[in-house]
Chain A
Amino acid sequence: MSRIWKSQFKDHHVTDEALYLNRRQWMAGAAGLGLGAIAGPALAAPEGLEPNSYEDITNYNNYYEFGTGKSDPAKYAHTLTTSPWTVTIDGLVDKPGDYQLEDILAKAQIEERIYRLRCVEAWSMVIPWNGFTLASLLERAGVQSGAKYVAFETAARPEEMPGLRYPVLDWPYREGLRLDEAMHPLTLMATGLYGKDLPNQNGAPIRLVVPWKYGFKSIKSITRITLQEDQPFTSWKDANHREYGFYSNVNPTVDHPRWSQATERVIGAGLFGSRRETDMYNGYGEEVASLYDGMDLQKNY
């Protein structure tokens, strides 16, 4: 059950129900409450982020392995077996092998990170994740000098994932990052949200969160991480390379061919909620813009 916190805390010790429902009031101080050291100004999230409700976050998901409707994952993802869970780390690493999730978590330093998630479909929500940096995991595996990229793979289990019957994408779902993106301190391996275990529809038991990129880069339910020299295969780029690039950094000035990326609908704002202007790098430009110095972002979308 409570895999993430079992060793140290009980769920309700970490964030009790009343507290997290009241989160908006104490959000500003969350970093200091022992939920994990959110260290240094470099990690400061865009200010004034108000998390969406747990309800919003867990009922509005794109997880096509469970169907293409936004509420399909909440309906069908309960069939996914998330324990035991193994993440294979291979390729250009010193210690390749099958890593049991318990072992990964036993040594992981879980932090809370409140990030805005900007979907390529031009909507956004704010999610209080719990997780640890991908860098810390990669360091444990020992990245070899030839590695330039990290490839990720989602579980593909036809018997547990009804969406795999449809050729929406070339399954299994695959994503990738450049090594420096992967090692960036903002890049998170999330294992929980709102202090609870990650719900299946949100990518349990372990998923990537790259807050300055469109949501589809943040691959869910990861079973394989491969360090490699070549740019990895990525599912959406494969499906339509004109619409989805390898980088897919949030960029209001580069439109999706079929829709504008200048603004985004704020999920949870209700029927008359308004749009907000999309921020360059989803508001994380100060931290990540330097990764793309000298690159033509119109070409490397």
Chain B
Amino acid sequence: MSDSTSATPGLRDRLTQAINQGARRVPTWVLYIVGAVPPIWLFIAGLTGGLGVDPVKAMEHQMGEWALWLLIAGLCITPLRRFARINLLRFRRAIGLLAFFYIVGHLLVWLVLDVQILSQIWRDILKRPYITIGMAAFVLLIPLAVTSNNFSIRQMGARWRQLHKLVYLAAVLGAVHFVMLVKGFQYEPLIYLGVVLALLALRLPILSRRR
């Protein structure tokens, strides 16, 4: 898809340029501030009765769903750059770390507010495949969160890139976790899984070589 397909040559280029220039003006710390708002709002809403009859499940599900959005957003950065020449690379660390923090929040709600009983938590992690898978995704993301800083990138060199490919697996596991926990046949989690798989497919050599 080159510019020749566009009705007004250059329009797409100008749009891309505008986005890229605009993005450059946004400091990355803004994302952390903005990203902190929804969980805080959610917690306050839960305390004040704004989340309905079952605030614990509402928080648990919402945090999990937002975490999936963030994982998906992180997976969009490379395809956007490659196929649309939109460069949001400088936000990827913030998006990835936010995804991790949201997953921590999701996990904390489950541990502290939902299950509460330590022995049952362990049993659930070991015995319930969807929880095992969710936990596996979380564990995979720990080294990525720990190494999401300039120092680690410098230290690790090429291995850093290798390590951070674990996010592909974590995103798939996160989506599978969602697919496995619903009752009956439901589309929503399958759509999430489809989106994750599609974003990963865009990274296949066959597709990424074609530019």
Contacts and interface: CB of A to CB of B under 8 A. Distances in A.
Interface of A: 55-56, 59-60, 64, 68, 70-71, 121, 123, 166-169, 236, 239, 255, 258-260, 262-263, 265, 267-268, 270-275
A169 B185 CA distance: 7
A271 B113 contact: yes
A262 B116 CA distance: 13
What are the 3 A-B residue pairs with the smallest beta carbon separation, nearest first? A168-B184, A60-B53, A56-B53
B187 A166 contact: yes
Contacts of B54: 60, 70, 123, 265, 267
B65 to A, nearest CB: 12
Contacts of A267: 53-54
A273 B120 CA distance: 17
Given A236-B184, A275-B116, 12 more contacts: A60-B53, A68-B182, A121-B183, A123-B54, A166-B186, A168-B185, A168-B186, A255-B127, A258-B180, A265-B57, A268-B53, A271-B55
Interface string B23-53: 0000000000000000000000011000011
B52 A71 contact: yes
A221 B181 CA distance: 27
B138 interface: no
Nearest to A243: B183
B47 to A, nearest CB: 6
A41 B128 CA distance: 40
B106 to A, nearest CB: 15
**Interface residues of B, dominant DSSP:** helix
Contacts of A68: 182-184, 186
Contacts of B114: 265
Nearest to A259: B128
B181 A258 contact: yes
Given A258-B128, A263-B117, A270 B184 contact: no
The CB with the most chain A CB atoms within 10 A, among B54, B116, B184, is that of B54
> Which of the listed residues B123, B183, B186 has the most CB atoms from chain A within 10 Å of its own CB?
B183
Majority DSSP secondary structure for residues of A touching B? loop
A47 B117 CA distance: 25
A263 B115 CA distance: 9
Contacts of A60: 52-54
Interface of B: 46-47, 52-57, 59, 113-117, 120, 123-124, 127-130, 180-187
A258 B130 contact: yes
Contacts of A121: 183
A275 B117 contact: yes
B56 A265 contact: yes
B136 to A, nearest CB: 16
A121 B184 CA distance: 12
Contacts of B46: 271
B53 A55 contact: yes
B124 A260 contact: yes
A271 B181 CA distance: 22
A23 B185 CA distance: 39
Contacts of B117: 263, 275
Contacts of B53: 55-56, 59-60, 70, 267-268
B120 A270 contact: no
Contacts of A270: 55
Nearest to A53: B53
The interface centre, meaning the residue of B113, B114, B184 with most chain A CB atoms within 10 A of its CB, is B184
22 contacts: A56-B53, A60-B53, A64-B184, A68-B183, A70-B54, A70-B57, A71-B52, A123-B57, A169-B185, A236-B184, A258-B128, A258-B129, A258-B130, A258-B180, A258-B181, A259-B124, A260-B127, A265-B54, A265-B57, A267-B54, A271-B55, A275-B117
Contacts of B185: 166-169, 239
Given A68-B182, A260-B123, A59 B128 contact: no
A168 B186 CA distance: 6
A12 B180 CA distance: 46
B52 A59 contact: yes
A71 B61 CA distance: 14
Contacts of A262: 120
A272 B113 contact: yes
A106 to B, nearest CB: 35
Contacts of B128: 258-260
A267 B52 CA distance: 10
Nearest to B129: A258
A71 B129 CA distance: 27
Contacts of A273: 56
Contacts of B115: 275
